[in-house]
Amino acid sequence: MRTFFELSKKELKKVVWPDKKETMSTTGAVMILVVVISLFLGVMDLGLSKIIEAILS
């Protein structure tokens, strides 16, 4: 168990963490993508609901 944590600590020292600018830009891109996909799924859900409602009525 001790060896595992020692090796984990060594591996974490090798990690290259992104700077603030890169973090902010990727966060913005993810947020925009989430909004776009949410709108797309909402429109598809509404459209399919209307189609099914028309078929069943």
pTM: 0.67
The verdict on residue 42 lying in a domain is yes
Mind listing the pLDDT tens digit for each residue in 15-27? 999 999 999 999 9
Number of separate domains in the chain = 1
The verdict on residue 3 lying in a domain is no
The verdict on residue 31 lying in a domain is yes
**Residue span of the structural domain in which 28 resides:** 17-56
Rounded to whole angstroms, the Cα distance separating 32 from 16 reads 25
The verdict on residue 12 lying in a domain is no
Mind listing the pLDDT tens digit for each residue in 21-53? 999 999 999 999 999 999 999 999 999 999 999
